[in-house]
A = this chain, B = another copy of it.
Amino acid sequence: MARRISRKISNSTIHRLSIYYRALMGLEREGYDTISSKELAKREKLTPAQVRKDLSFFGSFGTRGLGYPVKELKQRIAEILGLNRLWNVAMVGVGNVGSALVSYKEFARQGFIIKLLFDNDQRKIGSNHKGIIISDIANMKSQLKENEITIVILTVPASAAQKVCDDIVEAGVKAILNFAPVSLKVPDDVNLLNENMAIELEHLSFSLTNRNMVMFD
Contacts and interface: CB of A to CB of B under 8 A. Distances in A.
Interface of A: 1-5, 8-9, 11, 14-15, 17-19, 21-23, 26, 43-45, 58-59, 79-83, 87, 89, 96-97, 99-101, 103-104, 106-107, 110-112, 150-151, 174-177, 181-183, 191, 193, 195-210, 213-217
Contacts of A103: 96
B206 A17 contact: yes
B201 A110 contact: yes
B175 A208 contact: yes
Q: How many copies of this chain?
A: 2
A23 B174 contact: no
A81 B205 CA distance: 6
B107 A3 contact: no
A15 to B, nearest CB: 7
Closest 7 CB pairs of A and B: A82-B209, A82-B205, A96-B100, A175-B204, A18-B199, A191-B207, A100-B100
Contacts of A206: 14, 17, 80-82
A112 B201 contact: yes
